[in-house]
């Protein structure tokens, strides 16, 4: 898909699309219409939306990407009755007036929490309505470009961190961001990337969101898997970076010990003590990062097992074939995770076998894990 879309961009997007018209009669989840749809979406990134609509025959309109515009739920007259509408208007004025983080907190403090009972004085740290009005309004006003959106995330980073303090909060930030930009896959991908880098959300939250019901319609879309693989790579690089820092600190300590054997300077003892403390801190960071990494893979494989099991049970109860285009796509994505990240997954094979890929698992799903194990033997 990446190669072909770049090929088309080099030749002014010329192609004999009529030769592929048979895909219009197939299941949209089948490989051929799916390929055409993903190619056109990639071409939009390399050009612009109207250009792609102009070069594709009208009969292919069902496979053309949607207009990549921002969807702001508080933007029309029918939204007056929506919860949080008045707060969204206040936030819009505040953002345009270059309000500070404290001023935004002041506006948000009176937003009612739909998760909280009237007689509950303790309340909840997770307030979905606060997140909704804040993220919707901010992303709408920053919709002009990628750089505008990045600047908005940076300026109100403190507000994001506070609202997304809990796991539920992180997940809801991703949900609302997706609602706003559901027609712009590239914007979704770059915003998720930025949110991970700035620690507004974590990798496990992104994985949980990808397998959530909100993304079920787009689950087999290419951009979803680009996000997931990018998330895994970020986690892996994070672990490797800390491991490298730990190894360098240990090597530095070893060099100091070697020098000290030829030197009676007492100051070297103080240097050793500081370095040993640094090594201890780095060791804790490595263990914490590896725990996060293992948890990320557990979340991913657990969600795969859940959705595949639901599909198998549904097909059995309906008396229909298991081998649907969706099922084949999902199984192949599971295989891709194993193969593309095999070096890291090997470290957690025992945990995966004991917790997830047990003998009680459906043979269809277990077979994928067993095939991977056979490759590692």
303-315 per-position pLDDT tens digit: 999 999 999 999 9
CA nearest to 65, candidates 222, 207, 293? 222
**DSSP string for 185-199:** HHHHHHHHHHHHHTT
Co-location of 237 and 324 in the same domain: yes
Predicted local confidence at residue 269, as pLDDT: 58
In sequence order, the 6+-apart residues with CB closer than 8 A to the CB of 128 are: 114, 115, 168, 172
Which of residues 20, 41, 63 is at a domain's end?
Answer: 63
Predicted local confidence at residue 80, as pLDDT: 81
Co-location of 33 and 86 in the same domain: no
In a domain, 221, yes or no: no
CA nearest to 39, candidates 1, 72, 96? 1
In a domain, 209, yes or no: no
In sequence order, the 6+-apart residues with CB closer than 8 A to the CB of 231 are: 192, 196, 203, 206, 207, 296
Total domains, the chain = 3
CATH value at residue 159: 1.25.40.180
Predicted local confidence at residue 263, as pLDDT: 61
In a domain, 69, yes or no: no
Domain that holds residue 279: 227-376
Co-location of 163 and 185 in the same domain: yes
Predicted local confidence at residue 119, as pLDDT: 44
CB-count burial class (<10 Å; 0-12, 13-18, 19+) for 315: middle
In a domain, 150, yes or no: yes
Stated pTM of the model: 0.90
Residue segments in the chain with a per-residue pLDDT below the cut of 70: 117-125, 261-272
Co-location of 54 and 81 in the same domain: no
Predicted local confidence at residue 262, as pLDDT: 60
Predicted local confidence at residue 81, as pLDDT: 82
CA nearest to 134, candidates 102, 156, 155, 167? 156
Co-location of 239 and 354 in the same domain: yes
In a domain, 217, yes or no: no
Co-location of 194 and 114 in the same domain: yes
108-146 per-position pLDDT tens digit: 998 988 877 654 444 456 899 999 999 999 999 999 999
In a domain, 214, yes or no: no
Q: How far is CA 316 from the centre of its chain?
A: 32
In sequence order, the 6+-apart residues with CB closer than 8 A to the CB of 120 are: none
């Amino acid at each position: 898909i990446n190669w072909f879309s770049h090929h088309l961009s080099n030749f002014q997007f010329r192609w004999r699309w009529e030769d592929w018209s048979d895909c219009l009669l197939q299941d949209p989840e089948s490989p051929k219409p799916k390929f055409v749809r993903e190619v056109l979406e990639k071409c939009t990134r390399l050009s612009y939306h109207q250009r792609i609509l102009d070069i594709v025959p009208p009969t292919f309109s069902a496979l053309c990407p949607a207009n990549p515009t921002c969807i702001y739920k508080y933007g029309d007259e029918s939204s007056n009755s929506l919860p949080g509408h008045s707060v969204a208007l206040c936030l819009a004025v505040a953002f345009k007036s270059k309000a500070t983080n404290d001023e935004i907190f002041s506006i948000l403090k009176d937003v009612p929490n739909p998760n909280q009972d009237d007689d509950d004085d303790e309340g909840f740290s997770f307030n979905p309505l606060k997140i909704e009005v804040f993220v919707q309004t901010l992303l709408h006003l920053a919709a002009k470009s990628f750089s505008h959106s990045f600047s908005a995330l940076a300026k109100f980073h403190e507000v994001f961190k506070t609202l997304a303090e809990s796991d539920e909060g992180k997940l809801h930030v991703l949900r609302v961001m997706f609602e706003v930009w559901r027609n712009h896959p590239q914007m979704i991908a770059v915003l998720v990337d930025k949110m991970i880098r700035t620690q507004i959300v974590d990798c496990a939250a992104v994985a949980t969101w990808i397998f959530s019901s909100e993304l079920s319609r787009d689950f087999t879309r290419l951009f979803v898997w680009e996000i997931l693989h990018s998330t895994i790579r970020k986690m892996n690089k994070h672990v490797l970076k800390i491991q490298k820092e730990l190894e360098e600190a240990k090597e530095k300590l070893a060099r100091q010990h070697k020098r000290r054997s030829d030197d009676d300077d007492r100051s070297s003892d103080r240097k050793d003590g500081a370095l040993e403390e640094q090594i201890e801190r780095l060791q804790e960071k490595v263990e914490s990062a590896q725990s996060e990494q293992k948890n990320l893979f557990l979340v991913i494989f657990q969600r795969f097992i859940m959705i595949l099991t639901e599909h198998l049970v549904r097909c059995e109860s309906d008396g229909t074939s298991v081998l649907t285009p969706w099922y084949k796509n999902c199984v192949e994505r599971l295989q891709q995770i194993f193969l593309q990240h095999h070096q890291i997954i090997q470290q957690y094979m025992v945990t995966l076998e004991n917790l997830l890929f047990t003998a009680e698992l459906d043979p269809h799903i277990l077979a994928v894990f067993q095939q991977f194990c056979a490759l590692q033997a």
